[in-house]
Amino acid sequence: MSLQEQFDQAAANVKKLKSLPSDSDLLELYAYFKQATVGDADPANKPGMFDLKGKAKFEAWSGKKGTSKEDAQKAYIAKVESLVASIGLQ
């Protein structure tokens, strides 16, 4: 299975977790997913100071700046696998 296929499968598995992961796990998943699919976050698109959720997501994503698409995919897959092991799938 190619890295892209593993990534796509991991993205599908996230939606099938038995329960919602912690906020920090969700932010990490979001950041790696965006880095793998979009690339580095654009500072021009930073949410306003009153958008706390958007700001947290943007900062998590910005923290992955410089990570290659492949490395971000691998990190995302590893994170999903650890969540599946601890939470389980439906």
DSSP bridge pairs for 17: 89
The count of domains in the chain is 1
Domain containing 36 equals 3-87
Residue 27's CATH number: 1.20.80.10
CA distance 7 to 58: 21
pLDDT for 75 equals 98
Which pTM was predicted?
A: 0.93
Mean pLDDT over 13-41 rounds to 96
Sorting pLDDT into bands at 50, 70 and 90, what band is 28? Answer: very high
- Residue 7's region, left for phi above 0, alpha for psi from -120 to 50, else beta, is alpha
Tens digits of residue pLDDT in 29-88: 999 999 999 999 999 999 998 999 999 999 999 999 999 999 999 999 999 999 999 999
